[in-house]
Amino acid sequence: MTEAAAPRVLALGELLVEVMRKELDLPLDRPGELVGPFPSGAPAIFASAIARLGAPAGIIGVVGADDFGDCVVSRLRSDGVDTTHVRVVADHPTGVAFVAYSGDGRRHFVYNLATSAASLLSPGDVLPDYVAAAAFVHVAGSTLAVSRSSRESCYKAAATCKAAGGRVSFDPNVRPELLGGEPVDSVVGPLLELCSVLLPSGPEASMLTGQADEADACRSLVERGIPIVALKRGRDGSTVFTADECIDVPSLAVTEVDPTGAGDCYDAGFVVGLLQGWDPERAARFANVVGALSVTRQGPMEGVPYVAEVMALM
């Protein structure tokens, strides 16, 4: 890889495939039709979006030596993501998530991650020179719950990037029930100390602070020292909090087909906007369009837009 092609944005963490119900309100505990596999995983969706939005992207992760691993890696490569730091292992399968959709918009997942190749991500996979060359390292909270070694890898990547003068973006999509009883504060604390951009939903902001009011929670996170907190509000857009302002940014109205990955796409849009040197409000407008377009096709990465599509709607 040439120096000119070196990733400006790195993601790391779980690479998996999703297999999903074709029908609404058909749970996974009975026979029924499924579609897939679709490449997925929060870090993979984010990296795909970064690349399609025109920024050099790379990813660090682990897949099995199987067809599902090929599915994910091939898709990332076709989108222009650098996958030279994706390790392939023969003794663990690529992670799988099975998904069922409810008519009210809820989703139910059955995961095979804890014993999958994704769980093998370790600090040894995080090469300091590769990470230090990036302008941004992005961490998804879901990665912190896959395994302890995966979590330590995130801490190392974030600390390495920041020490080299880069920035850390963090989406705290942590599910407390997957942490094995460990307090959320102790798991996410190191990332909150390192991140320059925090990208929570309302419930996540409240979880991080203990404050029921979403806006108050975000303000307290800024007061804690996080320069930018971008609150994702789904079809209502987003709100950006900094030390100087609080700005509501409306979303784009679309017909939702599959909401999986919308938050990861928003994250990518916001980071790309900051890389462009835009102010947080314009970055949020861009990110809102990216997130909205991402839900218009079935499959977590199938609706990820290209930069020209997004700019046409700005």
H-helix or E-strand containing 267? helix 262-275
Distance of CA 41 to the CA centre of its chain: 8
**């009011």: which residue's tokens?**
213
pLDDT digits (tens, 9 = 90+) for 37-84: 999 999 999 999 999 999 999 999 999 999 999 999 999 999 999 999
> Residue 59: enclosing H or E segment and its boundaries?
strand 57-64
pLDDT class of 3 with cuts at 50, 70, 90: very low
pLDDT for 176 equals 66
Domains along the sequence of the chain with CATH? 7-301 (3.40.1190.20)
State pLDDT tens for residues 157-211: 999 999 999 999 999 988 766 677 778 888 999 999 999 999 999 999 999 999 9
C-alpha to C-alpha distance for 110 and 162, rounded to whole angstroms: 35
Cα–Cα separations (whole angstroms), residue 249 to 143, 233, 241, 285: 28, 10, 11, 6
Residues ≥6 apart with Cβ < 8 Å to 2 = none
136 exposed, middle or buried (CB, 10 Å; 0-12, 13-18, 19+)? buried
Token output for 295? 């839900």
State pLDDT tens for residues 229-260: 999 999 899 999 999 999 999 998 898 888 88
Q: What tokens does 259 get? A: 């909401």
